[in-house]
Structure 1
Amino acid sequence: MEVKTESPGDPNDRNGNVHKNTDLTLPHDFINNFASNNTTRKKIKKILIKRIPILSWLPEYNCDCAVGDLVAGITVGLTVIPQALAYSSVAGLPPQYGLYTSFLGCFVYIFLGSCKDVAMGPTAILALLVHQVTEGKGPEYAILLCLLSGIVQLLMGVLGLGFLIDFISGPVSSGFTSAAALIIVSSQIKDLLGIRASGANFLDIWEGVVKDIGNTKVWDCVLGIACLVVLLLLRIISTVGTPETGVPKWRTALRLIGISRNAILVIVCGAIGYYFTTLGETPFKVIGYVPEGFPAIQPPRFTYTYNNTHENFLDMVTNLRSGIIIVPLLGLLEDIAVCKAFANGRPVDATQELLAIGLCNVANSFVQGFPGSGALARSAVNNSSGVKTTLGGLYTGVIVITALFFFTPYFQYIPKATLAAIIIAAAIFMVEIRVIQPMWRAKKSDLALALITFVTCLVTRLEYGISTGVVLNIIFILYQAARPKITIETMKSTQGADYLLVTPDRCLIFPSADYVRNLVIKQSMRQKIPVVIDCSHIYGADYTAATVIESLTKDFKTRQQPLFFYNLKSSVSSVFVGLNLDYFLVYYNEDELDDMLKKWTEICDKI
């Protein structure tokens, strides 16, 4: 039976019979489309893994990771509860708002966070900023600030503006952090002494403390100092060793006790407060009623009414002033500091962290939270507890929710002096005294910048202080760009000809172009010898610089004095050549210099 074969590209005949085709070729369009689609899929997959980091580690998640995350998550959960209650006081808010800030962000960060060690939640610095920006106007302002901060961070992430934190230099950051730490400590002195004192900045707080110091409550003071001593001792104990170093079990147990010091102290002092309450009255102040249960899930309020004064959304945003920008930036700064501390040399994706903490803050605003970020102290606990992935935040969030549902009735017995001691014990180590000596040895102007930022933050508001530091830092950078260091030497070529070597140490752009030109002309007129500008360190130039070079070459041509450019990079040369410069002479070795000197002599003879 004869079988009729179909076209070479069709493996089936009209009857459905399959035929072997040894010369089967796919159309080029199909191949190109398949390759194009495959490339597109790879790009999409790469973007998804980059922007949703959970997709990269979840397929490889195992029991070891689960155990590590469980232990770390529980440990951080026990740490965040007392800190959240304490930071609410720093933010000028009732204690429950710290707890509201401590759970939903942990859940969001699981999916978007790029650093396993980051412990999302309230931080001391952001709490202080919230207090200063909102001026104690109430939770409505703090919650709205949380939403706006998250939106700003998301926009910065989408627009790739994470580089903005690079303008907050090390000295500015050190000055700001140290000042914030002192303000935080000062704000807790009133609770440590059991007195009344108000104020947002350092001077106002201490003025209030001095005025009411005569009303110090003995038992608050005794309890607060005792708690502070215990916390500092337990902090020392927490450094005795880690499980990986092979230390004895009793030392590991001591270390765990040291890590959990805040939770242990709150439980013990809360029990003491409860005991005295059953007797009738406590001899020290306690934090009082804390609402039980989950917060209402709702958007922030966009209007505010207080003392018969009604404010709309625009009024509220206006009252928040620069805090809408400063709070998101410093939140990012804290988070990036944590990421870098535990990155082990790996690069940190600031854009991804902006997206992560931005969405965390937006989510927190719907459960009545105030702005939060990655907390360095809790992140250190997270790391030392053996966290494996960001899933550790799940257990931290569950513990906070459990506390909201079952333990809030007992929080009211916690002494205020205990929470004050917890904050002070953490904040005093934020004062960066250790950087003073290295800054003095390395560059005294950096130390001056740190001190200016430090003092400004103390005497004014924090956002004004750090803004001042950033502006001064930019001015220093611009001044250095406008006044590059220039070395001038008299040299000899290989054939013994003298020439003046001028070496700028950085790029030639519009702020510095005239300065370099004037200096070159001044030096060249003193010595009527050829001038060589060493361009080895000039890695960039602009149109203004090109016009200045054009003027410079014409001036040298008029005076019939040789001017050469040594080792000019092609990218810079193209900027200069774009103006069709006359007598623009470039060389790259000493032999070429000798040839150029000869040619120049010939040119001058013809003029």
Structure 2
Amino acid sequence: MNEGAGIESTQKKSLSWKGLELFPIGKVLRQYNLRKAKQDARAAMNVALLDIPQSMAYALIAGLPVQTGIFCASLSTITGPVLASSRFIMLGPSNATAVMLLSVFLSLGYSPGQALIALPLLLLLVAIFMTVGAFCKVAGITQYISKAVICGYITAAAFLIIINQLKTVCGLHVPRAATFVESLGNFSAGLGKTDTDALIVSGITLVSYLLLKRFAKGLPTIALSLVVTAVVVYVLRPYGLEPEMLSGINASSWPLTLPTFQWKEFTEIAGGALAVAFLAMLESSSIAKSLAAQAGDRIDLNQQMLSMGAATFASSLGGGMAVSGSLTRSMLNFRSKPATRMSSVFSGTILIVALFLFGDKIAYLPRAALATLVILVGISLINPEQIRLMLKTTRNDATVFLVTFVGGLILPLDTAIYLGAAISIGLFVRQAARPELREISFDEQGNLLERAPEVQKHRRPEIAIVHVEGDLFFASSDVFLDQMRHLAEHPDLRIIILRMRNARHLDATAASTMMELTRFARSKGSDLIVSGVHPELETVMRQSGLLDLIGEKNFFRYSPENPTISTRDALKRAREITGVDSADITIYTADKGKDHA
């Protein structure tokens, strides 16, 4: 029995607050056994072999010492599962957060030394944003951010990764820049000083990687490529090959970093910290939902966000970097079939042991070799199929993708992702806020027929049934009121029945709009009836005073046993008000066929 099946059924209650569990791993430990431990250990070993070179690569992407990536990976994989919801997500550095860190520090004009000093405070702010966001249940905002934003951001980030590592591949020491366009200019200007030794090392690494990928499938290709390159460089060193090397790591001097607080620095990096937290939330929620769906597990995104907050806090104190869910390591963990989230704890433990045993051996790795592998990772992030999907599916998706992507090339990435998210939410609100109604009548054979606009001008229905569907909130209120006022102006209209069975998200603005509509209709000699009202909508109507204005006699609740009975009773009430047994009835429904983008 795995965690998804067995742990959920435990009858023991966990410590919780505000709907979030404060020690969910306790449920795992209460049912843990040797069989599960062996299964978790196998998965952990697979992930750790990938984690070591990846973590160093992500630190290099962020412009930080390679040890910050390993410190982050080991600390976050141990602390994250204590509060996590998913048994598959492997926390640690990722491409997305690494390149965001680079962009934030470059946009602030920080040197590598300044960035390293400011990093603990930035991570502390990220941890606070994530923790507060988890308790405020903000993870739900991810449903309003389209995949086009993520696709555009990742594509732009890939270009920035590639151009920033190309200078290392060529052995150049050119000024750093916050954007792809500036970085490309600096790289082009320095090409005349290309170092031949760096290019040779890059060539050796590329050939090693391609051969291993072709003939050694299933093995840790990235790690083996670095080992092969290190051996070849060591052999060729007496013949004059002298590339720039990485610095070894002395694990015994692992730093405890306490954030230093200065108000000026705080105001400078707060915006960047919010961008990192926002991006990590988007990235991790996307991975968590995908893996949970495949495994049949349940996932609480706010719980997962809380675990990232805790892991980021540990990383801020332990000399690490920004924490997110890693797609490649999480997918490897998923395929390795861990029994519980303890596989993550084991993986972090393996990383720490490896760091103490082999940390000093990192000094044998050429910097250009790691940069070459980072470029290969960057190229793999560019997904032509996804880009084609975003550009061809809808105009909204294409707009959001292009705005985010182009913005990511010419602006700092934190600005680009805010811009993309704002466009995504704006287009969603625009579409949700423009309901369209069409008039449906019957032909002589009794078939439903959409009436032409010119016929509608002369049509004077006595009873209008309006199907209100979707989101009825502040953004849609003005348009809804205009359309309904236009309908209420028909001189022969006596009754408007709002069928609200499929209406959602009624708020104070929309309730106020419906009150205005009720008063306007009555001023024109008509009346308003509502039917199919769910309990949550009734609560808003009652608290706002709308129910009192409409009146209980004109209010009909939704019945799960008979979904149409409320409309039938509303028609009976309409006939009672009009005093006639027969009336012309026109049905208005949402026009789903139009593209309001």
Q: Same fold (TM over 0.5)?
A: yes
2:325 to 343, 356, 374: 374
Alignment of 1:129-140 (within 5 A): 129-135=100-106, 136=111, 137-140=114-117
Give the whole-Å Cα distance in 2 for the aligned partners of 1:390 and 1:499. 60
Match of 1:578 in 2: 547
Can you give the 5+ residue segments of structure 2 that lack an aligned partner in the other structure? 1-10, 447-459, 557-565, 582-597
- Residue matched to 1:299: 257
Alignment of 1:100 with 2:100, yes or no, is no
Measured after TM superposition, the shift of residue 319 of structure 1 is: 2.2
1:512 maps to what in 2? 476
Give structure 1 stretches of 5+ with no counterpart. Answer: 1-40, 238-253, 303-311
Calculate the TM-score normalised by the size of structure 2.
0.79
Distance 2:62 2:328 in 1: 18
1:401-480, aligned counterparts within 5 Å?
401-440=352-391, 442-480=393-431
Deviation at 1:88, TM superposition (A): 1.9
CA distance in 1, matches of 2:338, 2:83: 17
Partner amino acid for 2:571?
Answer: L
Which residue in the other structure is 2:218 paired with?
256
Structure 1 residue 273 corresponds to structure 2 residue 233: yes
For residues 391 and 582 of structure 1, the distance between their equivalents in structure 2, rounded to whole angstroms, comes to 58
Checking the alignment, whether the CA contact within 8 Å between 1:564 and 1:586 is kept in structure 2 is yes
1:210 equivalent to 2:188? Answer yes
Partner of 1:67: 38
Instruction: Summarize the Cα distance change of 1:531–1:540 in structure 2 as closer, same or farther, 3 Å threshold.
Output: farther
SS of residue matched to 1:196: coil
CA distance in 1 between partners of 2:320 and 2:335 (Å): 27
Q: Is the 8 A contact 1:102 1:397 kept in 2?
A: yes
Partner amino acid, structure 2, of 1:162: A
What is the aligned partner in structure 1 of residue 6 from structure 2? none
CA apart distance, 1:461: 0.9
What is the correspondence of 1:29-428 to structure 2 with a 5 Å cutoff?
43=13, 50-135=21-106, 136=111, 137-197=114-174, 198-228=176-206, 230-232=208-210, 234-235=212-213, 254-257=216-219, 260-277=220-237, 279=238, 281-287=240-246, 289-302=247-260, 313-343=262-292, 344-428=295-379
Q: For the structure 1 residues 116 and 504, does the alpha-carbon distance in structure 2 shift closer, same or farther, using more than 3 Å as the test? A: closer
Q: Aligned partners of 2:386 and 2:119: how far apart in 1? A: 33
1:508 positional shift:
3.6
CA distance in 2, matches of 1:556, 1:584: 17
Letter in structure 2 aligned against 1:256: G
Matched residue SS, 1:535:
strand
Residues 193-227 of structure 1: CA deviation (Å, up to 9, x unaligned): 22233222111111111112233334433442453
Query: Distance in 1 between the 2:42 and 2:186 partners?
Result: 43
Number of matched residues? 533
**Cα distance change, pair 519–164 in 1 and its aligned pair in 2 (3 A):** closer
Q: Deviation at 1:149?
A: 1.7
Which of 503, 506, 516 is the aligned partner of 1:538?
503
Shift of 1:589: 4.2
Secondary structure, in 3 states, of the residue corresponding to 2:440?
Answer: strand
Query: 2:72·2:93 contact (CA, 8 Å) conserved in 1?
Result: yes
Quote the RMSD (CA, aligned, Å): 3.4
Q: Larger Rg: 1 or 2?
A: 1
Q: SS of the counterpart of 1:347?
A: coil
- Aligned equivalents of 1:157, 1:227: Cα separation in 2: 42
**1:550-589 pair list within 5 angstroms:** 550-561=515-526, 565=530, 567-569=532-534, 571-572=537-538, 574=542, 577-581=546-550, 585=554, 588-589=566-567
- CA gap of 1:520–1:341, structure 2 versus 1, over 3 A, is closer
Tell me the distance in 1 between the aligned counterparts of 2:42 and 2:56. 22
Taking a change above 3 Å as real, the CA distance of residues 454 and 49 of structure 1, as seen in their structure-2 partners, is closer
CA distance in 2, matches of 1:301, 1:554: 59
Q: Is the 8 A contact 1:78 1:263 kept in 2?
A: yes
In the aligned structure 2, how far is the partner of 1:138 from the partner of 1:592? 66
Which amino acid counterpart does residue 313 of structure 2 have in structure 1?
V
Identity %: 24
Q: Partners of 1:538 and 1:228 in 2: how far apart?
A: 57
Contact conserved, 1:196 with 1:209, CA < 8 A, in 2?
A: no
- Distance in 2 between residues matched to 1:191 and 1:461, nearest whole Å: 21
Question: Take 1:524 and 1:256, find their aligned partners in 2: how far apart are those partners?
Answer: 69
Measured at CA, do residues 53 and 500 of structure 1 come closer, stay the same or move farther in structure 2, by a change above 3 Å? closer
Deviations 1:508-546 (A, max 9, x none): 444433322322333454674455444233345445444
Q: Hey, what's the Cα distance between the residues in 2 that align with 1:124 and 1:416?
A: 18
Contact kept, 8 Å, 1:502 with 1:531, in 2: the verdict is: no
Assess if the C-alpha contact under 8 Å between 1:72 and 1:387 holds in 2. Answer: yes
Which letter does structure 1 place at the counterpart of 2:256?
A: Q
Instruction: Tell me the CA shift for residue 158 of structure 1.
Output: 3.6
Question: Which residue in 1 is equivalent to 2:457?
Answer: none
CA contact (8 A) 1:126 1:371 kept: yes
AA matched with 1:315:
K
2:554 and 2:573 in contact (8 A); partners too: no
How far off its partner does 1:264 sit? 0.6
Q: Secondary structure at the match of 1:105?
A: helix
Q: How far off is 1:466 after superposition?
A: 0.9
Matched residue type, 1:221:
L
Q: Cα 1:342–1:527, aligned 2, differ >3 Å: closer, same or farther?
A: same
Give the secondary-structure state (helix, strand or coil) at the position aligned to 2:364.
Answer: coil
**Given that residues 539 and 569 in structure 1 are in contact (C-alpha distance below 8 angstroms), is that contact kept between their aligned partners in structure 2?**
no
Q: Report how far residue 462 of structure 1 moved.
A: 1.0
User: Residue in 2 aligned with 1:27?
Assistant: none
